[in-house]
Amino acid sequence: MYAVVKTGGKQHKVSQGDVLRVEKIDAPVGDTVELTEIALLSKDDGLVVEPDALKSAKVVCEVVRQGRAKKIRVFKKKRKNNYTRTYGHRQSYTELRVQDIQA
């Protein structure tokens, strides 16, 4: 059994026991989070994609850790204008462990 979950503007295929990184969710480590925006649900008897059937479905996850990803460098340059800019960015993330998929 697996589900496709929408969170942070992205879609993730998850099954029970998976660990995934998503955009930062304000929840302390060890807390449980319910992801209710489900795009697709796979059961033993087939796929469920109807919005009415997916409204009651949810994925229960445990917050494993909060962190920040590696820094990326952004470099801008305009040739003949003597213009260069460099800046960096570190994206915050939340690591979740899927405990249960409830249909």
* Full 3-state SS string of 28-39: CCCCEEEECCEE
Q: What tens digit of pLDDT does each residue of 36-61 get?
A: 999 999 988 888 888 888 888 999 99
Mean predicted lDDT score pLDDT of the chain: 93
Indicate the SS3 state at residue 79: helix
Q: What tens digit of pLDDT does each residue of 61-74 get?
A: 999 999 999 999 99
**Percent of the chain topping pLDDT 70:** 100
Alpha helices in 2-98 (DSSP H): 51-54
pTM above 0.75, yes or no: yes
Beta bridge partners of 76: 85
User: Phi and psi of 56, rounded to 5°?
Assistant: -90, -10
